[in-house]
Amino acid sequence: MTKPVSDPADDIEKRRKFLRRHALQAREALDEAQRQRLTARLTAHLDGVIGEVAPRVLAFCWPFRAEPDLRAWVQDWLMRDAQRTAALPVVVAAGTAMHFRRWTPGADMAPDRHGIPYPVVPEEVVPEAVIVPLNAFDAAGYRLGYGGGYFDRTLAQMDAVAIGVGFELGRVPSVLPQPHDLPMDWIVTESGAVHTGAARTGTAPAVR
């Protein structure tokens, strides 16, 4: 019997799913003390990057599935300059770019359909830099998120510095980037910060 020939595109997607799943499992296996130690080292490097980029409006993500928790770091960043603004992404509709709402410590929050909090008050802002969580990632600045394509769609429509933040355990030789994938300008982990020099020339991915 002739063995069916697999579609190369299907093979790549399976490999990308494996990379994502492996990175998530490794991160979620960290205990809280390990995660806090790694996050402290990571934010020390993030200080340098944000100092160089010097945004007045900075977007970050509420921690999800054992991601680095940057809330205390962002709160400290805000306290050091009253002119600074922090923001969180909001998914308005599936298959569309995200919006960003101003966040302040103690702001009223509501959970989205994934249980991730977002600011209730719809005060929208335009970030100059966006901190993007990394699951699996590579040295070229490409990343694997959760498969929804939200950051790719969003960054394709923005003129903002994209700063990928994650733990070294998610580093891989290549995430097998696809045409719609957009690289990060910076990669920051507990081991250091690297400016990738990548140009974001991808196109927004189709709804999936």
- Domain of 56 in residue numbering reads as 8-195
Total tally of structural domains belonging to the chain: 1
Q: Which residue has the tokens 């959970």?
A: 111
The answer as to whether 201 is a domain residue is no
Written as six digits, the tokens of 19 are 């990379």
Nearest to 187 by CA among 141, 154, 118, 148: 141
- In the Cβ-directed half-sphere of 12, how many Cα atoms lie within 13 Å? 10
Mean pLDDT of 77-90: 97
pTM to 2 decimal places: 0.89
pLDDT in tens, 51-77: 999 999 999 999 999 999 999 999 999
- Average per-residue pLDDT for the chain: 90
The answer as to whether 73 is a domain residue is yes
The answer as to whether 30 is a domain residue is yes
CATH of the domain at 67: 3.40.50.10420
pLDDT in tens, 140-185: 999 999 988 899 999 999 999 999 999 999 999 999 999 889 999 9
Model confidence at 200, pLDDT cuts 50, 70, 90, reads low
